[in-house]
Amino acid sequence: MTEPDNSFRHQAGLLDTCVCIDLPLIEEAALPIELRISTVTLAELGLGTAMAATAEELAIRTERLLEFEHAFDALPFSSTAARRFTSMSKLVVAAKRNPKPRRMDLMIAAIASANDLPLFTRNPDDFKGLEALLTVVAV
């Protein structure tokens, strides 16, 4: 197993929702210098809050969501991102995969791509086949 090369850090990058959830567990050197999130990530974190099974879990998730809302100016799903989402969906279909179950991931990827940002994720396999339009950084 090889260690990641942390001698280079991207200046900026978009964090996938899974990275936001695991952020306290990830070494700073593995992340971009400037962290960005998307409005889709805020929606996914909000969904996680709505699905909390206990009052304690609800409180923790709500607090975490509020921290992200206050700490970041989230990038929107713009019309440019919508067009990129369509292109990415076509690539997924061309690879004989169904884009519907991965639509939130594709929306986040489209926002990263439309803003010329690499996407930092814990699930790089979710973005296979999109290399022509997206830089994926596994963390």
The amino acid present at 77, given as its one-letter code, is: F
Domain parsing of the chain, residue ranges: 12-37+74-138
Which of 4, 32, 53 minimizes the C-alpha distance to 119? Answer: 32
Name the CA radius of gyration of the chain, rounded: 15
Report residue 59: phi and psi, to 5°: -65, -45
> Is residue 106's pLDDT more than 90?
yes
Average pLDDT over residues 3-11: 72
pLDDT digit string, tens, across residues 10-29: 999 999 999 999 999 999 99
Q: Give the C-alpha separation, 10 to 101, whole Å.
A: 29
* 12-37+74-138 CATH choice from 3.20.20.70, 3.40.50.1010, 3.10.20.600, 3.40.50.300: 3.40.50.1010
pLDDT digit string, tens, across residues 30-60: 999 999 999 999 999 999 999 999 999 999 9
The answer to pTM > 0.95 is: no
Give the count of alpha carbons within 13 A of 138, CB side only: 9
> Is residue 71's pLDDT more than 80?
yes
Residues 6+ apart with CB under 8 A from 89: 99, 103, 106
pLDDT value of position 3: 45
Which of 87, 93, 91 minimizes the C-alpha distance to 110? Answer: 87
Q: Give the C-alpha separation, 105 to 86, whole Å.
A: 13
Model confidence band, residue 7 (pLDDT cutoffs 50, 70, 90): low
